Amino acid sequence: MKVFGKNVFNELKENVKSIKKVYIAKNFTDKEIIKFIQDNKISYAVMDAHKMDGMVEGRHQGIIAVIDDYEYSDYRDMLNDNIVVMLDHLEDPHNFGAIIRTCEAAGIKSIIIPKDRSVSVTSTVMKTSAGALEHVDIAMVNNLVNVIDDFKDNGYFVYAADMDGTNYKQVSYADKVLLVIGSEGNGIGRLVKKNCDEILSIPQFGHVNSLNASVAAGITIYEVVRQKNEE
C-alpha cells in the first residue's frame, strides 16, 4: 500500500519495519525525514515531483512510502471494550478517516467494518485519520448481523444512529455499548437495524434532513463518552 505526506510518514516512524520503500521528490527539503530514512537504512529513490503525482491520488508533499498492507484485528478481541463502533457499509474514505480520528480522540480504540460494499483502510483513510489509525484497531467481518448477535451474547446493548429514533441525549447508555453508524446514502441496513436494541436520532432544525456520517458519529460518540465519564 502506498501512503503519502509528511504527517503520515512521521506517524510511520513508530513502525519502521512496515516501511518497504520511500520515494522522495528532488526538491524535498525536510532534512529530519531524510536523515531518518538514511539512519534506518530504508530503501529510497529520488524522483521528479511530477512523476510522483501519478503514483497517488492527492497531494504527496514530496514523499510517498510503500508499506505493508493494513493488518485487520479480530473483532473477538474487542469484546472486552466498553464502547465499540460499527460502520454499516460506509463508503467514503474521508468519512472513515474522520471517524477513526474522532474515536481515537474520544478514547475508543475499536471499530468494525464489513468486508463487502464498504470502505477499507486505504492511503486516503490513513491520511485523513491524521495518525489516529496507529492507535485504533479495525476489524473487518463477513456478516454484521452475526457479529451484533455475538456482542449481545457478551452483554452489549446495541444502538443505531438513524432517523425516527429516541433523542440521543435522552438515552441512558448501557455499561457496554456497540454503536452502529450507517452509510452516507442508505443509512442503517434493514437487517442490521432490526437487530439493534435502540435507535438514536439527532434533532435537526434546518432544511436538510440528514447529517454527514462522520458528523453524526462524532455527536453520538461524544454523548456516550460524556455519560460514561460522569458515572
Reported as a single tens digit per residue, the pLDDT across 52-69 is 988 887 788 899 999 888
Burial 99-121 (b: 16+ CB within 10 A, else e): bbbbbbebebbbbbbbeeebbeb
Contact call for residues 41 and 20 (beta carbons, < 8 A): no
Q: What is the CA radius of gyration of the chain?
A: 20
Partnered with residue 84 across adjacent β-strands are 178
| Count of H-run helices and E-run strands, the chain | 8, 10
Is the pLDDT assigned to residue 210 strictly greater than 80? no
pLDDT grade for 209, boundaries at 50, 70 and 90: low
pLDDT, mean of residues 135-140: 94
C-alpha cell of residue 154:
457478551
Domains in the chain, please, with CATH? Answer: 2-67 (3.30.1330.30), 75-230 (3.40.1280.10)
Is the pLDDT assigned to residue 215 strictly greater than 70? yes
Query: Higher pLDDT residue, 153 or 18?
Result: 153
Query: Higher pLDDT residue, 25 or 117?
Result: 25
pLDDT in the model for residue 231: 65
Residues 170 and 7: their CA atoms lie apart, in Å, by 39
